Amino acid sequence: MSVRARVTLTGVAAVVLMLATAGGLGITGKWRATHVAAQGGTTVVLHKLAGDEVGTVTFTQSADKVLVQVSVSGLPPGFHGFHVHTVPLCDAGTGFMSAGGHFNPSDRRHADHAGDMTNLYVGGDGTGGMSLWTDRFTVGQVLGMGGASVIIHASPDNFANIPTRYAPAPDETTLTNGDSGDRIVCGLFQ
């Protein structure tokens, strides 16, 4: 399976998608996400740890691929890891660690997880956006597993690509999450 990305650098903020698949969990109180029905898909509302709404991610099913469209604002400039995680829970008290690991139903190594997406670029004005197609999961698959979380990380994902001239082999952190750092944004894909 592959991910094909078209990144639009319009000075729009970075977003990391993380979808979670554990059933029965969700955001409550100020963390409750609003999900807007999209034709053949869903829209996820993204929040920072403090609860501020910072954007949306829309997943639209189209035959055997999913169109992922991200729009964010109020984020730090630069590239940010963007993933779908396995647990539909955005608990700020855990630094969004409640969202679990990357969505990975085929038990593959990092960079080949179904939830691994391209990095999101946020411009100097704190805004970002991108559109990409993926065939690594379907909207129905994620919803059928009880949902997921979309995560945006503080740092870019290196996709476990560490040339041997820098180290003999990637360490466990690189192999599991691509050194993408803290989870700064979360939204529920339900």
User: What is the Cα 112 distance to its own chain's centre?
Assistant: 14
Residue 158: the pLDDT is 77
Q: What is the pLDDT of residues 13-55, one digit of tens each?
A: 222 233 222 233 333 333 333 333 444 799 999 999 999 999 9
113 or 45: which leads in pLDDT:
45
Q: Which of 9-13, 163-167, 174-178 has the lowest mean pLDDT?
A: 9-13
Exposure of 55 in the CB half-sphere (CA atoms within 13 A) = 28
pLDDT attached to residue 160 = 66
pLDDT score of 29: 34
* Band (149; pLDDT cuts 50, 70, 90): very high
What gap in Å lies between CA 52 and CA 165, rounded to an integer?
Answer: 42
Q: What's the whole-number mean pLDDT along residues 92-100?
A: 92
pLDDT of residue 8: 30
Q: Binning pLDDT at 50, 70 and 90, where does residue 124 land?
A: very high
Could you give all domains of the chain from N- to C-terminal order, each with its CATH number?
3-189 (2.60.40.200)
